[in-house]
Structure 1
Amino acid sequence: MPDAGAVPTRPAVRAEPDTTDLTADVAVVGAGAAGLALADALARRGAGERVALLETPRADLRSPERTWCSWQDPASPALAGSVGAVWPHADVVGPGGARQRLDLPVPYVLVRSGDHARAVGARLAAAGARRLAVTVTGLRDSPDEPRAVVRGHDAEGRPVRVRARWVVDTRPPRLPPEVPPGRTRLLQHFRGWFVRTREDAFDPAAAVLMDFRPPQPPGEVAFGYVLPTSPREALVEYTGFSAAPLDGAGYDAALRAYAATAGLPPFDVVAVEQGVVPMTDEPLPRVVGPRTVRLGTAGGATRPSTGYTFAAALRQAEAVAGALVAGRPPVPPRAYRRRHLAMDSLLLRALVTGRVEGAAFLADLFARHPAERVVRFLDGATSPWEDLALMRTAPRGPMLATVAERALPRGLRRQPRG
């Protein structure tokens, strides 16, 4: 990878409205969580005018509006104007109904993607960053050329070409249809109802983080959660870890059943969100060309065992922005330590082979460890000693069998059920 060089002090070339050949120091492809985070981090460092943020104008290619939750400092500059709710406490409900109240060491923070896009968009406009409505169709990055070239077209179908010293691709990864031998892939999929009740029903200071009372299909995990934003309003969501998502009728039936299990009073559904996030131990390279890197889910920001992504994407974006401004190659840091990825790989395999019942395993994790340790584990921040403590309480036989399987050549490993 060539030397990044110092970020030039001159602004990027500004094109006339009908110009389709543009130049930028940094072209950020995609305006989801990771793309917005990087553009915002550069703008906050005084490099906003050097950014071209490329977002497709096609609604069918954009992620629908959704909620991002993570353990964060709600006063972080990256979240300014974006925080929709903060919970200092959370409940975890086991498969049998046992409820634990957790005093969280770091608040659980809700960010709505639409609110975040508007808040970041205002900062980018003030910083002089360019937002281009472009559907990217190709990328050329040759070591023999001084800039990478991003090709696409605008909303009217006119061709657009952006030449950039660095390209950061934040679009979702394109995983192969078939899971490679020896690798494991699940999908974290969800549908949520934003509900409004006719009487007080929620505690705005406490989220129901995971409720494992929904039926648990073999080799899968299912749970509900309730994120209150007022005494009468909440996001009620059904989430599954499985090989395939449900259809619309399946989600609605699961949500109705969960609402009844949770004892919710009559409510109106005022909005709906839905999404899918891959959970996999397949390799996701962060560097894909001399001047092209990947960030966000495509750059490994999704925790394979939990599906959490947002906090890691923000951390990666801050590191990449710092490297660019300091004149270093903007290689995103590894989102999670190697030992955490190894632990995740084992847990994914134990889940899909049916050796470990996911709901009981996760509920037991909260029951047998301090909340701070579990939160740090979910966020990929535990120390080696904390990891050892967590592993000591894992089901020994199933996990040892999974370790033994992982020692086999990939072609000889057990195939998941179903």
Structure 2
Amino acid sequence: MWQRVRVTTVDVDLALVGGGGAGSLVLAALDRWGVRGLRVAVIDPVRRRGQDRTWAFWGRPDDGLDPLLAASWSQVEVAVPGRRRVLDLAPLRYAMLRSAPVYDQAATAEQRLGAVRVAAPAEAVEDDGSRVTIHAGGSTLRASWVLDSRPRPPRRAGRTNWLQHFRGWWLEADRPLFDPGRAVLMDFRTPQPVRGVSFGYVLPVTDRYALVEYTEFTSGLLTDAGYDAALAGYRDRLGLDPGRLRVREVENGVIPMTDGPFDPRPSPRVVRLGTGGGATRPSTGFTFAAMHRQAGQIAEALAAGRAPVPAPAYPRRHRWLDAVALRALDRGGVGGPDFFDRLFDRNPAERVLRFLDGTTSPAEEVALMSTTRPTPMVAATLGDAAARLRDRLVPWRRPAPGRVPPPVTGAPRSSHPAE
């Protein structure tokens, strides 16, 4: 059984610093892989419960998450002005997962693992190369390995720094208004910012209940009134009568979109997970699938007696592609609606989704990039190369260390926002 402790010193094999989405997925994976005999500690001032966020992601139906899902769809829509495209995702599916079952599953796993829980923030994490010492709430823990999922800044600020920010309404209708067989993945028929991208989406759970959300990729945030006005405008564009709708819940979130490098291994025995470890895709905000993938890799390694160090969340070449795409969008060479519309129009949907998830091959990526507009992408590539060369030749002009990204709240999603 897990136990709340107030002791001077505890020795463990594995300490999870942070018990949110990334930590919860690791606990569940350890239980799923049958890892036993491992001394585990969870260090977090808050025990996560209930529906504090919603993840949406794509994957295969046999990925082990099916019993937890709120809904899933084999078809989605991508819309731009004048055209709505229906995409068949086979063999993938788009799925929605609310946080309560994830936290419940993690709590059960925590009990089975006999984990120690310290209900305090980690005040210091000190790695001497052979053990890690953690000071938290008057307790001292010594761990062989630490998995740290707290928000962290990039090692240096990016050359392009945007935010993905959003607000969603969980809408309940008094009669059937939604199509539960199809989600709206990206609807670009929203007023576009002067510098940035906006879109709406709809994730229906039933024909009377759905999450309707408005998202922007820009350098700054809106006011509360601005988000509500944008959501109301998108609701009206969908033809939804506000008199027949009730807002059951409101979700908000902010995700960093930057080509600044995050450090997944800041010291020999500390591994960072989630956004702080680079699990957020810089050009899209995708995170959940990478967190889930890395949690499985960690559990598999521990079950085999290996170090709990997952593979990088995304290949290095994807980081470079993200930097180029962000630069092209930021400098105005590429419009967001046109960029995504061309990708989905000229490639199989399954290939685009795997690319956005970081699991395509180099040959597939060449095929995908060949469908974008060449002139602005070449200009962005040359601009990125020039900036990298300048930073090498004139080190003092490199971007300063990055700031801690804004807190991630609301509805993080692998397809848009995430932890």
TM-score between both structures, scaled by the size of structure 1: 0.87
Provide Cα deviations, 1:285-327, integer angstroms capped at 9, x if missing partner. 1111121111121111111111110011111111122222323
CA deviation digits over 1:337-393, x for unaligned, max 9?
122221111000111111111122112211221111111112112222221111111
Distance 1:64 1:245 in 2: 24
Q: 1:381 to 1:326 in 2, by over 3 A?
A: same
Structure-to-structure mapping, 1:4-19, within 5 angstroms: 17-19=5-7
For 2:103 and 2:153, how far apart are their aligned partners in 1?
24
Aligned-residue offset at 1:134: 1.9
The correspondence for 1:120, drawn from 73, 95, 106, is 106
2:6 & 2:281 partners in 1: Cα distance? 42
Give unpaired runs (5+ residues) of structure 1.
Answer: 1-10, 154-158
| Range with greater deviation from structure 2 (230-239 or 20-29) | 20-29
Q: Summarize deviations over 1:203-226 as a string: whole Å, max 9, x none.
A: 111100000011111331100000
Instruction: Tell me, yes or no, if the aligned pair for 1:192 and 1:274 is still in contact at 8 Å.
Output: yes
**Alignment check: 8 A CA contact 1:92 1:99 kept:** yes
Matched-pair contact (CA < 8 Å) for 2:51–2:100:
no
CA contact (8 A) 2:5 2:117 kept: no
Q: Name the residue aligned to 2:403.
A: none
Runs of 4+ in 1 over 6 A off after TM superposition: none
Alpha-carbon separation, structure 2, partners of 1:351 and 1:299: 24
Change beyond 3 A, Cα 1:399–1:15:
closer
> Which shows bigger deviation, 184-193 or 120-129?
120-129
Q: Which runs of 5+ in 2 are unaligned?
A: 392-396, 400-419
Kindly provide the CA deviation profile for residues 12-37 of structure 1, in whole angstroms up to 9, marking residues without a partner as x: xx978442422211001111221111
SS in 1 for 2:239: coil
**Aligned position for 2:59:** 72
Aligned pairs for 1:232-381 (under 5 A) are 232-265=208-241, 266-381=244-359
- Structural mapping, 1:17-416, within 5 Å: 17-47=5-35, 49-57=38-46, 65-77=52-64, 79=65, 81-94=67-80, 96-105=81-90, 106-143=92-129, 146-153=130-137, 159-175=138-154, 179-180=157-158, 183-265=159-241, 266-410=244-388
User: How many Å separate the matches in 2 of 1:315 and 1:343?
Assistant: 21
CA distance in structure 1 between the aligned counterparts of 2:295 and 2:133, rounded to whole angstroms: 22
Q: 1:287 aligns to what SS in structure 2?
A: coil
Amino acid across the alignment from 1:85: A
Pairwise CA distance, 1:187: 1.2
Kept in 1, the 8 Å contact 2:55–2:97? The answer is yes
- Partner Cα distance (2:120, 2:70) in 1: 29
Distance 1:167 1:19 in 2: 19
CA 1:97 to 1:119, structure 2 compared with 1: closer, same or farther past 3 Å?
farther
CA distance in 2, matches of 1:97, 1:133: 53
TM-score, normalising length: structure 2 = 0.87
Query: Could you tell me how far 1:44 is from its partner in structure 2?
Result: 2.2
User: CA, structure 1 residues 148+91, in 2 after alignment: closer, same or farther (shift >3 Å)?
Assistant: same
Distance 2:232 2:74 in 1: 27
Give, in angstroms, the shift of residue 235 of structure 1.
0.2
Structure 2 CA distance for partners of 1:223 and 1:165, relative to 1, 3 Å: same
- Percent of residue pairs bearing the same amino acid type: 46
CA contact (8 A) 1:134 1:160 kept: no
What is the CA distance between 1:74 and its match in structure 2? 4.4
Query: Shift of residue 50 of structure 1?
Result: 2.1
Q: Give the residue type in structure 2 aligned to 1:217.
A: P
For the residue of structure 2 that corresponds to 1:398, the secondary structure is helix
Shift of 1:116: 1.3
Please give the root-mean-square deviation of Cα atoms over the aligned residues, in Å: 2.4
Q: Kindly provide the amino acid, as one letter, of the partner of residue 69 in structure 2.
A: V
Cα contact 2:171–2:245 (8 A) shared by 1: yes
Output the CA distance in 2 between the equivalents of 1:337 and 1:409: 21
Of residues 307-316 and 371-380 in structure 1, the stretch that sits farther from structure 2 once superposed is: 371-380
Structure 2: how far apart are the matches of 1:375 and 1:58? Answer: 33
CA distance 1:363–1:201, shift in 2 (3 Å) = same
Change (3 A) 1:201 1:27: same
Equivalent pair of 2:4/2:117 in contact (CA under 8 Å): no
Aligned length: 388
Secondary structure of 1:163's counterpart equals strand
- Shift of the 323–214 alpha-carbon distance from structure 1 to 2, 3 Å rule, reads same
Contact 1:74 1:83 in 2 (8 A): no
Aligned letter for 1:237? E
**In the alignment, is the contact (CA less than 8 A) between 1:53 and 1:130 conserved in 2?**
yes
| Deviation of the 1:75 alpha carbon | 4.5
